[in-house]
Structure 1
Amino acid sequence: MLAIAGGKGGCGKTTIALGLGQALGTPTRRSLVVDTDRDMPNLHRRAGVAPTPGIADITASAEPTAVAQPATTVENVDVLPCQTAPGAAIDNAIDSLSRCDGPVVLDCPAGAGPDAAQPLRAADRTVLVSAPTRQSLTDTAKTAAIARALDAPPALTVLVGGDGSVDPSDLLSCSGTVHVPSVSRPLESDRAVAKYVEMANVLAKRNT
């Protein structure tokens, strides 16, 4: 499982989760993108699906892939919204995700608090998402430290916006960086989509 995490809300984590999910998925092995942010549950809006059913509807007899909805804004991606879901439902959903065959991407809450730690505990690796500003990167460094402590070390940094000149590798102790341009339709833009594919290729080389 991949956790998409960052220090600040609004830096583009949800869009990156969907774009990367599309790059990792195939028609026969679809990606599952899961919203774990109860405070700002906006995955369903970006994915173009209803807020329910979602993770609160997962039971012993209803597996995550049976509850998930196919995204309409990206291809080869199913999504699990979390609107109105209690924390216990997120724990239950995360526990059941290990049984999924395809790629699983967790759209995490921002920051380094308990809610952000919840999905990081289950993830194998983390993709750090930040704006290319000192404040955003400083906050993301705290998230990176939590990810390492929870055994989900950063595999890649994604900087959204900027001119590509910022190198966060020393601050975040993560050598791989992909710069995503700021575009009006980031899930449709050829420039942005090419960057999602680049992310998937970097992660594949690192066996993530």
Structure 2
Amino acid sequence: MLAIAGGKGGCGKTTIALGVGQALGTPIRRSLVVDTDRDMPNLHRRAGVDPTPGIADITASAAPTAVARHATAVENVDVLTCQDATEAAVDSAIGRLTRPDRPVVLDCPAGAGPDVARPLRAADRTVLVSLPTRQSLTDTAKTAAMARALDAPPVLTVLVGSDRSVDPSTLLCCPETIHVPSVSKPLESDRARAKYVEIADVLTKRNT
């Protein structure tokens, strides 16, 4: 499983999660993007689905994949929303996805608190998402440290709204950076979509 994490809210994590999910998915093997942010559950808005049913509706007889729905904003992606979910419900949902048969992308809360630790513990690798500002990168460095401590090491940094003038490699100690340009509709922009494919290619080469 892949975690999409960052230090600041509003840096574009959810959009990157959906874009990467689309790039990794196929019509036969659809990606699953899971919202794990109970405080700001906004995956449903970006994906173009209703907030319910979601994680809160998973039962012993209703698996997470059965509750997930097709995203309308992107292709080849199912989404599992987080509206009204308890901590225990999120833990249970993630735990039932530990051996996925398709790409699973965890859209993490911002920061480096307990809610972020939950999906990071389940993830195999982490993609760090940040704005190209000192404060955003500094906060993301704390998230990166947590990811390493929880055995979900960062494999890639994505700078959103970047003109390539900032190099975060020293601060974040991440092997590769992809710069996503500032566009008005990032899930519809060909320029942004090309970057999501580039991210997916890097992840595939690193066997994540």
What's the counterpart of residue 25 of structure 1?
25
139-148 vs 92-101, which moves further: 92-101
Distance 1:205 1:165 in 2: 26
What's the counterpart of residue 150 of structure 1?
150
Matches within 5 A, 1:181-200: 181-200=181-200
CA positional deviation for 1:56: 1.3
Distance 1:92 1:114 in 2: 16
After superposition, give the CA deviation of every residue in 1:158-184 in whole Å (9 maximum; x if it has no partner).
000121121111110101101001101
Count of residue correspondences: 208
- Counterpart of 1:130 in structure 2: which amino acid? S
- Residue 60 of structure 2 is aligned to residue 94 of structure 1: no
Distance 1:114 1:63 in 2: 25
CA positional deviation for 1:82: 0.3
Contact 1:2 1:106 in 2 (8 A): yes
What's the counterpart of residue 6 of structure 2?
6
Distance 2:145 2:61 in 1: 37
Matches within 5 A, 1:1-208: 1-208=1-208
Q: Percent identity?
A: 83
CA positional deviation for 1:188: 0.4
After superposition, give the CA deviation of every residue in 1:72-104 in whole Å (9 maximum; x if it has no partner).
000000000001111110000000112431000
Using the size of structure 1 for normalisation, the TM-score is 0.99
Contact 1:125 1:155 in 2 (8 A): yes
**What root-mean-square deviation, in Å, do the aligned CA atoms of Structure 1 and Structure 2 show?**
0.7
28-37 vs 160-169, which moves further: 160-169
CA positional deviation for 1:196: 0.1
- Counterpart of 1:9 in structure 2: which amino acid? G
Contact 1:65 1:100 in 2 (8 A): no
Distance 1:51 1:77 in 2: 16
**Structure 1: unaligned runs, 5 residues or longer:** none
What SS class does the counterpart of residue 140 from structure 2 fall into?
A: helix
Contact 1:47 1:79 in 2 (8 A): yes
Distance 1:162 1:120 in 2: 26
Contact 1:35 1:82 in 2 (8 A): yes
What SS class does the counterpart of residue 202 from structure 1 fall into?
A: helix
- Counterpart of 2:82 in structure 1: which amino acid? C
Q: Which runs of 4+ in 1 moved over 3 A?
A: none
What SS class does the counterpart of residue 187 from structure 2 fall into?
A: coil
What SS class does the counterpart of residue 97 from structure 1 fall into?
A: coil
**Structure 2: unaligned runs, 5 residues or longer:** none
- Counterpart of 2:173 in structure 1: which amino acid? S
